[in-house]
A = this chain, B = another copy of it.
Amino acid sequence: MSVITLLTDFGLQDEYAGVMKGVILAINPAAVLVDVTHQIDSRDVVQAAFVIHGAYRFFPGGSVHLVVVDPGVGTGRAILALKAGGHVFIAPDNGVLTLLLEKIQTPSLFRLTNEAFYLRPVSGTFHGRDIMAPVAAHVSRGTALEEIGVPIDPEQAVRLEDLAPVICADGRVEGRIVAVDSFGNLITSIDSATLARACNRGPMNKVQVKIGRQTINGLSQSYGNVAADRLLALVGSRGYLEIAVNQGSAARRLKVKKRDVVRLIP
Protein backbone atom coordinates (compact mmCIF):
# COMPACT_ATOMS: atom_id res chain seq x y z
CA MET A 1 0.00 0.00 0.00
CA SER A 2 1.08 3.54 -0.51
CA VAL A 3 -1.11 6.22 1.00
CA ILE A 4 -0.16 9.81 0.15
CA THR A 5 -2.02 12.60 1.96
CA LEU A 6 -2.29 16.23 0.89
CA LEU A 7 -2.54 19.19 3.26
CA THR A 8 -2.48 22.63 1.62
CA ASP A 9 -3.85 26.16 1.67
CA PHE A 10 -4.80 26.01 -2.03
CA GLY A 11 -8.55 25.81 -1.51
CA LEU A 12 -10.68 23.71 -3.84
CA GLN A 13 -11.71 26.39 -6.33
CA ASP A 14 -8.65 25.89 -8.52
CA GLU A 15 -7.11 22.82 -10.12
CA TYR A 16 -3.89 22.94 -8.05
CA ALA A 17 -4.59 19.96 -5.81
CA GLY A 18 -5.97 17.90 -8.71
CA VAL A 19 -2.87 18.52 -10.80
CA MET A 20 -0.59 17.42 -7.94
CA LYS A 21 -2.53 14.14 -7.87
CA GLY A 22 -2.01 13.71 -11.61
CA VAL A 23 1.74 14.13 -11.15
CA ILE A 24 1.75 11.55 -8.37
CA LEU A 25 -0.28 8.97 -10.30
CA ALA A 26 1.94 9.35 -13.36
CA ILE A 27 4.88 8.23 -11.17
CA ASN A 28 3.12 5.80 -8.84
CA PRO A 29 -0.13 4.47 -10.33
CA ALA A 30 -0.79 2.50 -7.13
CA ALA A 31 -0.76 5.55 -4.85
CA VAL A 32 -3.90 5.97 -2.71
CA LEU A 33 -4.54 9.71 -2.42
CA VAL A 34 -6.32 11.31 0.55
CA ASP A 35 -7.05 15.00 1.10
CA VAL A 36 -6.48 15.99 4.72
CA THR A 37 -7.69 19.49 3.88
CA HIS A 38 -6.90 22.14 1.28
CA GLN A 39 -8.41 24.91 3.36
CA ILE A 40 -5.68 25.80 5.80
CA ASP A 41 -5.97 29.57 6.25
CA SER A 42 -3.82 31.15 3.56
CA ARG A 43 -0.09 31.00 4.49
CA ASP A 44 -0.84 29.91 8.11
CA VAL A 45 2.04 27.56 8.88
CA VAL A 46 1.10 27.49 12.58
CA GLN A 47 -2.35 26.09 11.86
CA ALA A 48 -0.87 23.60 9.38
CA ALA A 49 1.70 22.47 11.97
CA PHE A 50 -1.09 21.60 14.41
CA VAL A 51 -3.32 19.93 11.82
CA ILE A 52 -0.65 17.61 10.43
CA HIS A 53 0.51 16.71 13.94
CA GLY A 54 -3.04 15.91 15.02
CA ALA A 55 -3.94 13.99 11.87
CA TYR A 56 -0.99 11.87 10.77
CA ARG A 57 -1.34 9.18 13.44
CA PHE A 58 -4.74 8.14 12.08
CA PHE A 59 -3.20 7.09 8.75
CA PRO A 60 -1.52 3.74 8.11
CA GLY A 61 2.14 3.41 9.00
CA GLY A 62 4.28 4.08 5.94
CA SER A 63 2.04 6.88 4.69
CA VAL A 64 3.65 9.86 2.97
CA HIS A 65 2.25 13.27 3.95
CA LEU A 66 2.56 16.31 1.68
CA VAL A 67 2.29 19.60 3.59
CA VAL A 68 2.24 22.40 1.06
CA VAL A 69 1.70 25.66 2.91
CA ASP A 70 4.50 27.47 1.22
CA PRO A 71 4.49 31.27 1.30
CA GLY A 72 8.21 31.22 0.51
CA VAL A 73 7.89 29.41 -2.83
CA GLY A 74 10.40 30.79 -5.30
CA THR A 75 12.73 32.09 -2.60
CA GLY A 76 15.76 30.13 -1.42
CA ARG A 77 13.93 28.19 1.32
CA ALA A 78 14.81 24.50 1.37
CA ILE A 79 12.38 21.60 1.05
CA LEU A 80 12.53 18.89 3.70
CA ALA A 81 11.69 15.21 4.00
CA LEU A 82 11.15 13.98 7.55
CA LYS A 83 10.95 10.35 8.59
CA ALA A 84 9.37 10.05 12.02
CA GLY A 85 7.04 7.67 13.79
CA GLY A 86 6.94 5.36 10.79
CA HIS A 87 5.60 8.11 8.50
CA VAL A 88 7.28 10.40 5.96
CA PHE A 89 6.51 14.13 5.70
CA ILE A 90 7.46 16.34 2.73
CA ALA A 91 7.26 20.09 3.38
CA PRO A 92 8.99 23.41 2.89
CA ASP A 93 11.50 24.39 5.58
CA ASN A 94 9.30 27.06 7.14
CA GLY A 95 8.47 25.60 10.54
CA VAL A 96 5.43 23.59 9.52
CA LEU A 97 7.16 20.42 10.80
CA THR A 98 7.95 21.93 14.24
CA LEU A 99 5.55 19.83 16.32
CA LEU A 100 6.51 16.61 14.56
CA LEU A 101 10.22 17.33 15.12
CA GLU A 102 9.64 18.12 18.79
CA LYS A 103 7.19 15.40 19.75
CA ILE A 104 8.23 12.30 17.80
CA GLN A 105 11.25 10.34 18.93
CA THR A 106 14.37 9.97 16.75
CA PRO A 107 13.30 11.86 13.66
CA SER A 108 15.57 11.62 10.64
CA LEU A 109 15.58 14.70 8.46
CA PHE A 110 16.71 15.31 4.89
CA ARG A 111 17.01 18.36 2.68
CA LEU A 112 15.89 17.60 -0.91
CA THR A 113 18.74 18.01 -3.39
CA ASN A 114 18.41 15.46 -6.18
CA GLU A 115 16.68 17.18 -9.08
CA ALA A 116 16.46 13.91 -10.96
CA PHE A 117 13.32 13.24 -8.92
CA TYR A 118 11.70 16.59 -9.77
CA LEU A 119 9.37 17.45 -12.63
CA ARG A 120 11.24 19.36 -15.33
CA PRO A 121 11.29 22.29 -15.74
CA VAL A 122 10.65 23.40 -12.16
CA SER A 123 8.38 26.46 -12.15
CA GLY A 124 9.07 29.43 -9.91
CA THR A 125 5.61 29.37 -8.39
CA PHE A 126 4.41 25.80 -7.80
CA HIS A 127 6.94 23.61 -6.04
CA GLY A 128 4.08 21.53 -4.64
CA ARG A 129 3.50 20.22 -8.14
CA ASP A 130 7.05 20.26 -9.47
CA ILE A 131 9.10 19.07 -6.48
CA MET A 132 7.05 17.87 -3.52
CA ALA A 133 4.43 15.80 -5.37
CA PRO A 134 6.92 13.83 -7.52
CA VAL A 135 9.23 13.27 -4.53
CA ALA A 136 6.28 11.95 -2.49
CA ALA A 137 5.38 9.61 -5.34
CA HIS A 138 8.92 8.27 -5.56
CA VAL A 139 9.12 7.81 -1.79
CA SER A 140 5.81 5.93 -1.81
CA ARG A 141 7.28 3.61 -4.44
CA GLY A 142 10.16 2.81 -2.12
CA THR A 143 12.92 5.22 -3.11
CA ALA A 144 15.09 5.89 -0.04
CA LEU A 145 15.29 9.45 1.26
CA GLU A 146 19.07 9.09 1.09
CA GLU A 147 18.78 9.01 -2.71
CA ILE A 148 16.64 12.13 -2.89
CA GLY A 149 18.30 14.40 -0.36
CA VAL A 150 21.08 14.84 2.14
CA PRO A 151 20.66 14.18 5.86
CA ILE A 152 20.66 17.27 8.06
CA ASP A 153 20.63 17.83 11.79
CA PRO A 154 17.00 18.32 12.96
CA GLU A 155 18.28 21.31 14.93
CA GLN A 156 18.95 23.05 11.63
CA ALA A 157 15.31 23.09 10.54
CA VAL A 158 13.32 26.31 10.87
CA ARG A 159 11.16 26.14 14.02
CA LEU A 160 8.04 28.09 14.91
CA GLU A 161 8.31 29.99 18.20
CA ASP A 162 5.72 29.97 20.97
CA LEU A 163 3.91 26.85 19.80
CA ALA A 164 4.32 24.91 23.02
CA PRO A 165 2.12 25.79 25.99
CA VAL A 166 3.98 27.05 29.06
CA ILE A 167 3.49 25.62 32.55
CA CYS A 168 4.16 28.53 34.91
CA ALA A 169 5.76 28.22 38.35
CA ASP A 170 2.36 28.55 40.03
CA GLY A 171 0.99 25.64 38.00
CA ARG A 172 -1.02 27.74 35.57
CA VAL A 173 -0.77 26.81 31.91
CA GLU A 174 -0.64 29.41 29.18
CA GLY A 175 -1.40 28.54 25.57
CA ARG A 176 -2.88 30.11 22.47
CA ILE A 177 -5.71 29.64 20.02
CA VAL A 178 -4.16 28.02 16.97
CA ALA A 179 -7.19 27.26 14.81
CA VAL A 180 -10.91 27.91 14.54
CA ASP A 181 -12.82 25.05 12.96
CA SER A 182 -15.87 25.34 10.74
CA PHE A 183 -18.20 24.82 13.70
CA GLY A 184 -16.62 27.82 15.45
CA ASN A 185 -14.77 25.65 17.98
CA LEU A 186 -11.53 27.24 19.21
CA ILE A 187 -8.61 24.83 19.15
CA THR A 188 -5.80 25.74 21.56
CA SER A 189 -2.14 24.76 21.74
CA ILE A 190 -2.67 23.08 25.15
CA ASP A 191 -2.34 19.35 24.57
CA SER A 192 -3.82 16.65 26.75
CA ALA A 193 -0.41 15.60 28.15
CA THR A 194 0.33 19.13 29.38
CA LEU A 195 -3.17 19.33 30.78
CA ALA A 196 -2.78 16.05 32.62
CA ARG A 197 0.56 17.15 34.08
CA ALA A 198 -0.85 20.50 35.22
CA CYS A 199 -3.93 18.92 36.73
CA ASN A 200 -1.91 16.53 38.78
CA ARG A 201 -2.50 19.03 41.53
CA GLY A 202 -6.27 18.90 41.47
CA PRO A 203 -9.37 17.28 40.04
CA MET A 204 -10.46 18.05 36.44
CA ASN A 205 -13.83 19.46 37.42
CA LYS A 206 -12.09 22.18 39.46
CA VAL A 207 -10.07 23.41 36.47
CA GLN A 208 -10.74 26.94 35.28
CA VAL A 209 -10.19 28.02 31.67
CA LYS A 210 -9.84 31.75 31.03
CA ILE A 211 -10.15 33.33 27.62
CA GLY A 212 -10.69 37.05 27.08
CA ARG A 213 -12.99 38.10 29.94
CA GLN A 214 -14.68 34.72 30.19
CA THR A 215 -14.03 31.98 32.72
CA ILE A 216 -15.18 28.42 32.12
CA ASN A 217 -15.41 26.20 35.20
CA GLY A 218 -14.52 22.54 34.75
CA LEU A 219 -13.90 20.43 31.68
CA SER A 220 -16.68 18.61 29.83
CA GLN A 221 -16.55 15.19 28.21
CA SER A 222 -18.65 16.12 25.17
CA TYR A 223 -20.58 19.05 23.73
CA GLY A 224 -23.87 17.68 25.00
CA ASN A 225 -22.62 17.82 28.63
CA VAL A 226 -23.86 21.39 28.90
CA ALA A 227 -27.14 22.97 27.86
CA ALA A 228 -27.60 24.22 24.31
CA ASP A 229 -25.91 27.57 23.73
CA ARG A 230 -23.63 27.19 26.77
CA LEU A 231 -19.88 27.70 26.63
CA LEU A 232 -17.70 24.72 27.51
CA ALA A 233 -14.10 23.55 27.49
CA LEU A 234 -13.08 20.01 26.63
CA VAL A 235 -10.22 17.95 25.29
CA GLY A 236 -11.24 17.73 21.64
CA SER A 237 -10.88 14.81 19.29
CA ARG A 238 -7.43 16.06 18.17
CA GLY A 239 -6.06 15.73 21.73
CA TYR A 240 -5.97 19.48 22.41
CA LEU A 241 -8.00 21.69 24.74
CA GLU A 242 -10.89 23.22 22.79
CA ILE A 243 -13.42 25.88 23.69
CA ALA A 244 -16.88 25.39 22.23
CA VAL A 245 -20.53 26.36 22.49
CA ASN A 246 -22.97 23.44 22.50
CA GLN A 247 -24.91 23.68 19.20
CA GLY A 248 -23.36 27.09 18.58
CA SER A 249 -20.15 28.89 17.68
CA ALA A 250 -17.58 29.85 20.32
CA ALA A 251 -15.77 32.01 17.75
CA ARG A 252 -18.85 34.16 17.23
CA ARG A 253 -19.74 34.23 20.92
CA LEU A 254 -16.33 35.25 22.25
CA LYS A 255 -15.05 37.41 19.43
CA VAL A 256 -11.53 36.12 19.98
CA LYS A 257 -9.04 35.35 17.26
CA LYS A 258 -6.15 33.07 16.41
CA ARG A 259 -3.05 33.63 18.60
CA ASP A 260 -5.11 34.98 21.52
CA VAL A 261 -3.98 33.68 24.90
CA VAL A 262 -5.85 30.95 26.79
CA ARG A 263 -5.09 30.31 30.48
CA LEU A 264 -5.77 27.17 32.44
CA ILE A 265 -5.82 27.25 36.22
CA PRO A 266 -5.72 23.80 37.78
Contact = CB atoms under 8 A, between A and B. Distances in A.
Count identical subunits in the complex: 3
Interface string A17-46: 111011101100100111111110011000
A11 B29 CA distance: 27
A189 interface: no
A151 to B, nearest CB: 28
Interface residues of A, number: 61
B223 A15 contact: no
Contacts of A223: 73-74, 125
Interface in A214-250: 220-225, 234, 236-237, 247
B55 A22 contact: yes
A123 interface: yes
A150 interface: no
28 contacts: A3-B22, A5-B22, A7-B15, A10-B182, A12-B37, A14-B37, A14-B39, A14-B181, A15-B37, A17-B35, A18-B34, A18-B37, A18-B55, A19-B36, A21-B34, A22-B55, A22-B59, A22-B60, A22-B63, A25-B34, A25-B60, A26-B58, A26-B60, A43-B247, A72-B224, A74-B223, A125-B236, A126-B237
Interface of A: 1, 3, 5, 7, 10-15, 17-19, 21-23, 25-26, 29, 32-39, 42-43, 51, 54-55, 58-61, 63, 71-75, 123-126, 129-130, 181-183, 220-225, 234, 236-237, 247
